[in-house]
């Protein structure tokens, strides 16, 4: 059963009583007296909020640690225009009292449908060595379970449970399209690189109560971990071609593109370049889409400043829907309703007109007597005066123009 209160819904003045994860804890000394208070960052799957413990900070400091799941009670206050929780009480919660899906953000897509897409991609690989390498990983139930749940990053993109498999399937779809456009690409090699390029993230991240890096994730990173995992599996496949092994490992360590983004080598093969551009495209577009969806400021055309992108994004002007006011209808009393005239009769309802044979002699005589007598002779019309006959005007003869006398040009001069 989902919990009743999420951090994203909190407003200033709300009373807080919810279960959250302690993302971080800091001791901050008082300025004017001995002792310290505690500053917490609390998280659930919808967001995070700052919290302060002012009373009994030393006792709470000994009882509560980072990554603990706790029940916190308090009230939301506004400090320097930022909401924060003034904690009244905070205590640990045992595992049976919460659902971890309420605490960690999760993909909105169907993970089993994504897994089916991965299996179809593996079956489509024709190269026996590459297919055997893929099955070394994806036939392992423990690896598959981690692959389905791992996030794709901590902050940059697909940073939720199930984000890794969602990212992989998205890049697979892009790879199918680009292989049709560039037939020079080795499709089997590119698909293998897409499926394996981020497998180190199943060891780089932890996601049970909060998404964070593991110790080996901080020290080595998923590029080194992934290359180590692939190299170990290649050794278990007899007669695996050395050039093919080198190509697939190069794709893994170069897919970030440049050294400042973590790759020890830039892409130097066609498939490595394709993997880098496809992976980068999906990661960036998903990051943009997530920021536009979740970080838009109220009544603003812009999002809040996004540190990972180094900019604010234009989300568009908010649409204001004007409410349609209903037109008032005046009530009319029955006595005010005008009477409706009876309709005119139709032709079928009119009585038939009698003919001359059906009329009585007296009726015929009445009809003939009412007609006025016409004069026997018509009056003579007055004579109209005669008008002169019109004749066509004679055609005017054109006047002859006198020829203009031109003097011969002077010697050595052309006429204008």
pLDDT, tens only, 169-185: 999 999 999 999 999 99
The token pair at 147 is: 């692959």
pLDDT of residue 172: 97
pLDDT, tens digit, 9 for 90 and up, residues 295-307? 766 778 888 888 8
Which residues make Cβ contacts (< 8 Å) with residue 121, sequence separation at least 6? 172, 191, 194, 195
Mean confidence (pLDDT) of the chain: 83
Task: State the Rg of the chain over Cα.
Answer: 46
Q: Which residues, at least 6 apart from 58, have a Cβ–Cβ distance to it below 8 Å? A: 35, 36
The predicted-structure confidence for 387-415, as pLDDT tens digits, reads as follows 555 555 455 555 666 555 544 444 443 33
Positive/negative CA dihedral, 114, 118, 121, 123: negative
pLDDT at residue 291 in the model: 86
Question: Given the DSSP bridges, would you call strands 82-92 and 47-53 parallel, antiparallel or unpaired?
Answer: parallel
* CATH annotation of 7-99: 2.40.50.140
Structure tokens at 33: 């007296």
| Cα–Cα distance, 75 to 11 (Å, whole number) | 10
Mapping DSSP to helix (H, G, I), strand (E, B) and coil, where does residue 299 land? coil
Higher pLDDT, 52 or 334: 52
Q: What is the per-residue pLDDT for 222?
A: 94
CATH topology of domain 111-294: Hypothetical protein af1432 (1.10.3210)
Please write the tens of the pLDDT for every residue from 370-385.
555 555 565 565 565 5
- pLDDT given at position 101: 83
Question: How does pLDDT run across 39-94, given as a tens digit for each residue?
Answer: 999 998 888 899 999 989 999 999 999 989 999 999 999 888 888 999 999 999 98
Distance CA 162, CA 189 (A): 25
47's tokens: 């967001």
- CA-based torsion, 19, 21, 27, 28: positive or negative: negative
Answer yes or no: is pLDDT of 2 > 70. Answer: no
Residue 218 token pair = 């901080």
Contact yes or no for 283/291 (Cβ under 8 A): no
Rounded distance between C-alpha atoms, residue 299 and residue 288, angstroms: 19
- Residue labelled with tokens 């000994």: 62
CA distances from 42 to 18, 205, 240, 346, 364 (A): 11, 19, 49, 85, 112
71/73 Cα distance (integer angstroms) = 7
pTM of structure: 0.70
- pLDDT tens string 128-159: 999 999 999 999 999 999 999 999 988 788 88
pLDDT of residue 413: 39
Decide: 189 and 47 in contact? Cβ < 8 Å.
no
pLDDT at residue 100, as a whole number: 83
Q: How far apart are CA 325 and CA 125, in angstroms?
A: 62
Identify the three-state secondary structure at position 84.
strand
Domain spans of the chain, in order of start: 7-99, 111-294
pLDDT at 102: 87
């Amino acid at each position: 059963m989902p919990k009743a209160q999420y951090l994203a819904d909190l407003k200033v003045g709300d009373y807080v009583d919810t279960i959250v994860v302690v993302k971080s804890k800091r001791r901050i000394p008082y300025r004017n007296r001995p002792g310290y208070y505690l500053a917490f960052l609390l998280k659930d799957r919808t967001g995070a909020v700052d919290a302060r413990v002012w009373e009994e900070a030393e006792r709470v400091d000994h009882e509560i640690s980072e990554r603990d799941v706790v029940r916190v009670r308090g009230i939301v206050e506004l400090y320097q225009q930022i909401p924060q929780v003034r904690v009244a009480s905070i205590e640990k919660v045992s595992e049976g009292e919460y659902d971890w899906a309420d605490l960690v953000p999760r993909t909105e897509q169907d993970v089993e449908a994504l897994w089916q897409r991965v299996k179809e991609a593996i079956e489509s690989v024709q190269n026996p060595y590459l297919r055997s390498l893929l099955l070394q990983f994806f036939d392992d139930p423990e690896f598959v379970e981690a692959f389905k749940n791992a996030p794709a990053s901590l902050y940059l993109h697909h940073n939720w449970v199930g984000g890794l498999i969602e990212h992989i399937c998205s890049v697979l779809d892009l790879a199918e399209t680009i292989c049709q456009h560039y037939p020079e690409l080795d499709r089997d090699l590119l698909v293998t690189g897409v499926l394996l390029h981020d497998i180190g993230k199943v060891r780089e991240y932890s996601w049970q109560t909060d998404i964070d890096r593991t110790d080996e994730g901080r020290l080595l990173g998923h590029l080194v971990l992934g290359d180590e995992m692939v190299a170990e599996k290649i050794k278990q496949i007899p007669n695996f071609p050395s050039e093919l092994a080198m190509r697939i490992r190069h794709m893994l360590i170069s897919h970030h593109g440049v050294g400042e983004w973590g790759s020890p080598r830039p892409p130097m093969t066609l498939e490595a370049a394709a993997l880098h551009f496809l992976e980068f495209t999906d990661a960036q577009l998903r990051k943009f889409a997530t920021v536009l969806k979740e970080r838009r400021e109220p009544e603003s055309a812009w999002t809040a400043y996004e540190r990972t992108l180094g900019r604010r994004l234009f989300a568009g002007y908010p649409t204001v829907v004007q409410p349609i006011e209903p037109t008032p209808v005046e009530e009319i009393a029955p006595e005010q309703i005008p009477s409706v005239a009876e309709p005119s009769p139709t032709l079928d309802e009119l009585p038939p007109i009698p003919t001359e044979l059906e009329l009585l002699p007296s009726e015929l005589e009445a009809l003939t007597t009412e007609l006025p007598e016409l004069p026997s002779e018509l009056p003579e019309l007055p004579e109209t005066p005669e008008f002169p006959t019109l004749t066509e005007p004679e055609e005017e003869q054109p006047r002859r123009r006198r020829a203009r006398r031109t003097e011969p040009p002077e010697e050595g001069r052309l006429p204008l």
